[in-house]
Amino acid sequence: MMDIHQILKQLPHRYPFLLVDRVLSIDPGKSIRALKNVTMNEPFFTGHFPHRPVMPGVLMLEALAQTAALLAFDKLGVVPDDKTVYYFAGIDGARFKRPVEPGDQLIMDVTLDRMKAGIFKFKAKAMVGEEVACEAELMCTMRQIA
């Protein structure tokens, strides 16, 4: 378990771009389950779409990547600092199966597939209830910045 205060210490993202509200469980170095409460107050809903609010698919992928980052930091035993940035290196096989709307709770399940030469590869899935909303293979890397 990790609450929002612990997440804020790990991830550099802030409103409106922090997309993980709570970590439900973590199997150290292997997998993580986190959630994002999707509310009508999200700033992207005003334009996507005014007549039928739907969470953009790229933001579901971003929520999965932020969840993956928390797993990577746990695996490495590090707390990132102002000189560390966690980047996407690739997204493969992204599929969107169900729209995510205000009032939904997005449950993100991420498993570390492999880690090699500083590149992490994850299998990631976002669910609403028992339905898959989004799934993809994510590749991420950490870099030091000046």
Whether the Cβ atoms of residue 133 and residue 114 lie closer than 8 Å to each other: no
Question: Residue 51: exposed, middle, or buried by beta-carbon count in 10 A (0-12, 13-18, 19+)?
Answer: exposed
User: Cβ distance 67 to 108 under 8 Å?
Assistant: yes
Q: Which of 5, 13, 48, 51 is catalytic?
A: 48
Q: Which residues contact 47 (CB under 8 A, 6 or more apart)?
A: none
CA atoms within 13 A on the CB side of 69: 27
Q: How many CB atoms lie within 10 A of CB 135?
A: 19
Q: Is 5 a catalytic residue?
A: no
CA–CA gap between residue 32 and residue 68 (Å, rounded): 8
Active site residues: 48
